[in-house]
Every structure is written in C-alpha cells, then in structure tokens.
Amino acid sequence: MSPLRPPVSTPEVGGARLSVEHETLYHYDHPVEQSQHIACLRPLSDGGQRLLSFDMVVEPTPAQHSVRRDSHGNSRAYFAMHSAHAELRVLARSEVDVRHRYQALDAACGPTCAEVRQRLAYCAHASFEAASEFLYASPFVPLHPELRAYAEASLRDDRPLAEAVIELMQRIHRDFTYAPASTDISTPILAVFERRQGVCQDFAHLMLGCLRACGLAARYVSGYLLTRPPEGEAALVGADASHAWVSVWVPGLGLPQAEDWLDLDPTNDCVPGVHHVRVAHGRDFGDVTPLRGVIRGGGQHTLVVRVTTRLLSEKTTEALLRTTTG
C-alpha cells in the first residue's frame, strides 16, 4: 500500500492516458502439485475509459487458460497448472485512456434520497431495476443499524441524492483515520466503524454498508490511482497499490459517460477524475478479487505484489487532487 500523503495541488485533466503494471508473485515452501486460479486484472472499457492495450503473462505457463465475462460485466481470466511448481508469477500490463466523467456534475440537482429509495423498493408487478442487485447485504457488507444511524444524518429524504452521498463521503474521510496494516480482509466493517480506522478497502465497504442500510444501491469498485511522489523525489517503481472506492446509483444523473453511477472515493474525499483507473465492480471485494485460487500442496507461502501506475499524457486545467491509495 502506498504511504499516506497530504493533499497536493496538481493539474486536473479532461483526459489522461495511463499505464499500469501489476505483478503478483507467490513463493511456496513446497512444490504445488496442481492449482486453479481466477484473475480480475483487465481494466473496464466503456464510456468513461477506453482500454488501449492489455496483456497478462503467467509463469509457469498454464495448462489451461480462458477468459470470460462475469455477471457484472467484468473480464475474468481462468487458468490452471497441472505440473509441480514452487512459485507463481502473474504480470498484467494495461494502457488506458481515462475521461473526466463528472466535470459537469451539479450535485444539487437530480432526484432526492426518498425518490431513489422509492424506485428501489419492492413493488408487485413493477419493472425491475437492475441497480437493485447492489441494494442488499453481501458477504463483506452486512447491514448494521449502527451504520444506518450514522448515515441518516446525511441521507435525509428531501436532499438531492448526489449532494447527500458526497457529504457522507466527506464525513467518512473526516471521521476515520487511514492506517496501513491496521486491518485485513477478514476485519468486519462494524469493527472498522468502532475503531474509526482502516484502509481504502475498509472505507469502501463501510460506505457501502451505510448506503445499503438506508435503502440505496451502491457497488464496490476496484482499480488503481495514480499517485504523486513527494516533491523533489522520484517515483518508486512497484510502490503503488490497488485501490478501492464506491459507485452510487443516481438515476437521471445527466452525465452520459457515467451511466447513472456516481463514483466516490472516501479514502481521498474526492469524486474520481482521470487519475482513477477502474478495473472491475461488484457487490464487494469478493466479487472483484485481483487474484485468487485453489492449490494442492505448497505448504506455507509468501506473497509479493508490485504495482506501478504511470501518467503517459494528459490535458490539464487547474484543480485539486488528493493521492492516497489503500
């Protein structure tokens, strides 16, 4: 995970081209006889960003390898090893054009919290809202009354939803401390809420729990964030990390490239711009895990992850960008 740094004044852009290199390396104490894996590393390509190139190298070479779309529209690579191996290396390289989807956002306009809740509420014989898939509890995001009580201060019925969720994001950023290594994937969101600290994955799950507990649809977004080294220092290759934020369903948002989804980054207290690269979205981290699998043998193992995000080109205007990944 990248170190926490204070906000810095940098150019915001109408469009940017970025490259991402994501390397995962497993070392096993004993040879793995067989293994099967799923990788979710290919960035999305849609109205908000265009995937220019992608390749993924797996060592040793898999005996089987296929690529399919999951139910959320994410690209998943499936591969299997049928011979003994003492290590596994997966290297994914991407080049992406990212567009600024929210430059024209007017948070004071659009539907209210009550209007969106009503659209998502069950009604016999009503048309199905696809966003309702992201309304309910999921394995990493159970619904808690404590989160509902915390969120209700922002999500009042008569407030425009976009305005209300931005305020909720700002409160989470203010009330919680970014603390690397303070949690792991098994840490419950209620523990994060009580301790008031965590990393980007925790804050994304926490905000999802707040929104869904209040009858609103929101999804987990995995990706990367271009970070800036301290002034006068060179960027460190491999020092970046995967990042996570949330996306809230706001029907009638009026931004064609956003498709009624408003992305919010509670770790950095910002509406993502062109320095956020989206890889996948789902109900929670479990739907978009970068790499997972099942192995036979191997014993104990060590894991090394290196991520490098580079800015290749951009068109600039003045704005403010915060750069914290978690």
Structural domains in the chain, sorted by start: 14-98+291-320 (2.60.40.2250), 100-289 (3.10.620.30)
pLDDT of residue 10: 36
Specify whether the CB–CB gap between 27 and 265 falls below 8 A: no
pLDDT value for 166: 98
**Pick from 223, 218, 158, 146: nearest CA to 189:** 146
Residue keyed to tokens 């403010």: 320
pLDDT for residue 1: 38
pLDDT of residue 317: 44
Question: Is the pTM higher than 0.95?
Answer: no
Q: Looking at residue 233, what is its pLDDT?
A: 66
Specify the pLDDT at position 235.
Answer: 63
H helix intervals, 181-279: 189-195, 200-213
- For 248-285, give the DSSP string: EE-TT---GGGTTEEEEBTTTTB---TTEEEEEEESSG
At 228, the amino acid letter reads R
Confidence at residue 7, expressed as pLDDT on a 0 to 100 scale: 31
Residue corresponding to tokens 């993924």: 56
* pLDDT in 10s for each residue of the chain, 326 residues: 333 332 333 334 468 999 999 999 999 999 999 999 999 999 999 988 999 999 999 999 999 999 999 999 999 999 999 999 999 999 999 999 999 999 899 999 999 999 999 999 888 877 888 999 999 999 999 999 999 999 999 999 999 999 999 999 999 999 999 999 899 999 999 999 999 999 999 999 999 999 999 999 999 999 999 987 767 666 655 457 899 999 999 998 888 888 899 999 999 999 999 999 999 999 999 999 999 999 999 899 999 999 999 999 887 543 333 334 45
